[in-house]
Amino acid sequence: MANLIVRNIDDEIANALKQRASQHGRSAEAEHRLILQQVLM
């Protein structure tokens, strides 16, 4: 598996990711992976 680093994300987006992850009971990293999978696959 590859590693992906995303830089220069607006605080508003990072906070929204953390909030969404919390609502789904996942880490922000796991939520990020799921969003990418849903959008790209």
Report, as an integer, the average pLDDT of 4-21. Answer: 97
Query: In sequence order, what are the residues at sequence separation of 6 or more whose Cβ sits closer than 8 angstroms to the Cβ of residue 24?
Result: 31
pTM of the complete model: 0.85
Query: In sequence order, what are the residues at sequence separation of 6 or more whose Cβ sits closer than 8 angstroms to the Cβ of residue 17?
Result: 28, 31, 32, 35
Report, as an integer, the average pLDDT of 17-30. Answer: 97
Report, as an integer, the average pLDDT of 13-31. Answer: 97
Report, as an integer, the average pLDDT of 31-37. Answer: 97
